[in-house]
Structure 1
Amino acid sequence: MTKLKALTTSLMLLGLTACTIPGGHIEGVSAKDGATNSQSSEELDFDITEQVNTILITPNVLNSIKEREPSATQNQMLEQELQNYAYTVGAGDVLTVTVYDHPELTTPAGQFRDPEQAGNLVDAKGNMFYPYIGRIHVAGKSVEQIRVELTEKLSRYIENPQIDVKVAAYRSKRTYVTGAVSQPMVMPIANIPVTVLDAINQAGGISDDADWRSVILTRDSKEERLDLYALYQKGDMSQNRLLRHNDIVHVPHNDATKVFVMGEVSKAATLPIHRSGLTLAEALGNVGGFNEMTADASGIFVLRASTDANKVADVYQLDASNAAALILATQFHLQPMDLVYVTSAPIARWNKVISLLLPTVRGLDDLNDFENNL
């Protein structure tokens, strides 16, 4: 009778444990049947399976989700902007004016004064003072336009004046390079046009922990995402831009470019996505592979946030029970914040249950032996 009681107690514990151990379940019992009174009807009716897209990884699926590899392309708009580029003077710039054969009108540059110190400063209103002419508005004009205007006004006093205008100091315009670069900096915009590629090179290039596929160009409070991988590695000039005053080029760190590997693997880990990307095979290899004794090779899943507004996630399943299917894992490219989960085989779930029940069963046997000895 005592042994029967112990066996009955063990079976009862087994039924309770199957409901609480991860992976343990009792077929045919719905959530409503096992629910407590404290659970709301909304919790009982919620079914996560209705909120996900389950997709078996096949060659056709890989082709459908494969991102287009960038290639070398020209940027006609950028080339046109570079050809037509002309620096426009702004407040804070310093100009030097040379009037040939008239040293009294030429900006003086003494022995201990460089052109920047001796030049004509453009004031906050965009004006510059010049002899005989007085104040002249120069902001927003190119040096060629300023030269033509000075020539026209001085011709009233000098016959056929020969004038040259240069910018001695560029102070009015700047762009910013921030984030994961060797030397974040404020870069002045001068008479030589500066592109995103130029700016990052002048900042010492991107650092090892940079997310170079998601560089952000902020202009007039609007953000544009640029792919430096396509620009640097593939020569895709469509990712390059001519920089303007107050543009911000930000190279983010790769903190958000990571994936999570969990389940029946040698060592669960969070893995960064390196510059050349990360495949499912590489992710599994980096954590030591899945546990062949406990893992279900047909249950390797990749959970990814769905682009479908009516779904929570897209779940991609790799059936690696056939080893040849692992070649598909080398072609499946992971995306930031993907979750890779390897399920446990049914026998492994059963062993977990037994391992938790074993101490209780042994305790009951010891209690039974003690009662028999009384």
Structure 2
Amino acid sequence: MPLTADSVRVANGSPYRPREIPAAFFANAGGGSGLRGAGGAPAPSIDRQNRPASMETRVPPAVNPGPYEIGVGDVVLLATKTAGNTVEELSGLLAAQNARQGYTVQDDGAIAIPDVGRVQVAGLTLEEAEAQLFQSLVENQIDPSFSLEIAEFNSRRVAIGGAVGQPTVAPVTLTPLTLDAALAAAGGIRTEDLDYASIRIYRDGSLYQIPLNEYLRRPNLQKTRLVDGDSVFVDTEYELDKAQAYFQEQIALAQFRQQGRVQALAELNAEVSLRREALNEARGNFRDRIELDAVDRDYVYLTGEVTRPSRFALPFGREATLADALFDSEGFDNETANPSQLYVMRGSPEPGRPDLVTAWHLNGSNASNMILATRMQLRPNDVVFIAEQPITRWNRVLNQFVPSLITSGTAIATQ
């Protein structure tokens, strides 16, 4: 049948699934087991020091970090309106209890609210978070009547240790955290030596010192404002060595964890390198098997007046066209081939009918018909045949006939 747009659609409709290349060509070296961590840190240890002759007062500079910004780990409490009976609406108590829900700010800085989705609140003040939540409720067509408050402050903290009732970590809340409030949260100062005890504050790599007597005598020192990341240590010793040892130990622990992370990253990189080598080896093995013809492939066969009679391997993962097969095999011989007699022959898919063959004829002498060659999809075991020119057939007959005449004439003359 002639190869036309309609017959191309029919031919391409035959079921065929190209062979796939191995999964190693689609995989990447990532996706390892992740960081393993630094393990347990050693327990801290601080020794007593000798009393100095005097203690210097070094007060940390005044700070004003501005309004509280919500951070990761904080728990915000959302109260919304709920339907209730008249008594409940008048009292407001039961309705408020039923409508209050706490949400923890997750690692990505968002809270997940049912029917609303994830709302980014980290880094926002309470007023900014209310505006963001109001916008999200309106966008989801939910009644934007609500109240928002912070139920738990977990993102900003100050560590208090040393000679206190109970070493603790005090949260920084909406109310500025002062030195006296932080010490009260730790159970107060517990030392009998008021003359040489001191309060030391570690902030941003600097160490500040307030002698205990000065602290008790001056109310303004008691109201020293603390900020996130401060460490307060009540020292009953008399040199900075002990406090410095305490903070150096904290720094050493941080460095230990950092080194553990670096080691974990190195292990992860090594794991990725091993995975990459394994993938490259699997890919190389597959290419070697192809080169040795040890891989099952689907082929199309080119014969007749083609430049190079051969078999054309159908590619992995996609269909190939008649044009792909022709030009991959250097096309047809311009001197001997008859481009008007180009055929694609395909055996019957019906079992037991090897004699039933469909042949599509393409008149390639019309250049516009070659567009059909770019659309005609090939199937395994198709045969592409190009007939010879009539003059080529005649020349070949002569080439076979003339030597026979010469041979016969020579034999007669010899007799």
TM-score exceeds 0.5 = no
- If the length of structure 2 is used for normalisation, what is the TM-score? 0.36
Structure index of larger Rg: 2
- If the length of structure 1 is used for normalisation, what is the TM-score? 0.39
